[in-house]
């Protein structure tokens, strides 16, 4: 009976060591998993910031594209207004009225 007890003690000691090693391994695994979750949340936040910035940039670019057309519209409107003003002025002084 004494030898059987000794043999079981050795097996129990190996199981205890194995259990301790597994506990440490599991702790490290869950720490890494939690770190991955944290990194994923940070990455998601940065991604959202990038998307928001891109949307703002797209809006700004569209606005900038429209400015030359607005300028040309203003130039043409000024030319037409000037021509109409000259015609009205000429008519009012009677040059074209003859």
Please write down the HEC assignment for all residues of the chain: CHHHHHHHHHHHHHHHHHHHHHHHHHHHHHHHHHHHHHHHHHHHHHHHHHHHHHHHHHHHHHHHHHHHHHHHHHHHHHHHHHHHHHHHHHHHHCCCCC
Report the pLDDT value the prediction gives residue 39, as an integer from 0 to 100.
95
Which of these ranges, 20-24, 31-35, 56-60, 91-95, has the smallest mean pLDDT?
91-95
Per-residue pLDDT, averaged over 19-47, amounts to 94
Of 18-27, 37-46, 69-78, least confident by mean pLDDT is: 69-78
pLDDT bucket at 42, cuts 50 / 70 / 90? very high
Contact assessment for residue 50 and residue 56, using Cβ atoms and an 8 Å cutoff? no
Confidence band for 26, pLDDT divided at 50, 70 and 90: very high
The whole-number pLDDT of residue 68 equals: 78
pLDDT of residue 10: 85
């Amino acid at each position: 009976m004494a030898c059987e007890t000794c043999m079981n003690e050795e097996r129990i000691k190996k199981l205890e060591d194995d259990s301790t090693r597994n506990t440490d391994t599991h702790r490290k695994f869950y720490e890494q998993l939690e770190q991955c979750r944290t990194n994923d949340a940070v990455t998601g936040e940065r991604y959202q910031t990038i998307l928001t910035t891109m949307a703002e940039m797209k809006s700004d670019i569209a606005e900038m594209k429209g400015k030359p057309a607005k300028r040309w519209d203003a130039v043409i409107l000024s030319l037409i207004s000037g021509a109409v003003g000259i015609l009205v002025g000429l008519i009012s002084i009677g040059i074209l009225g003859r």
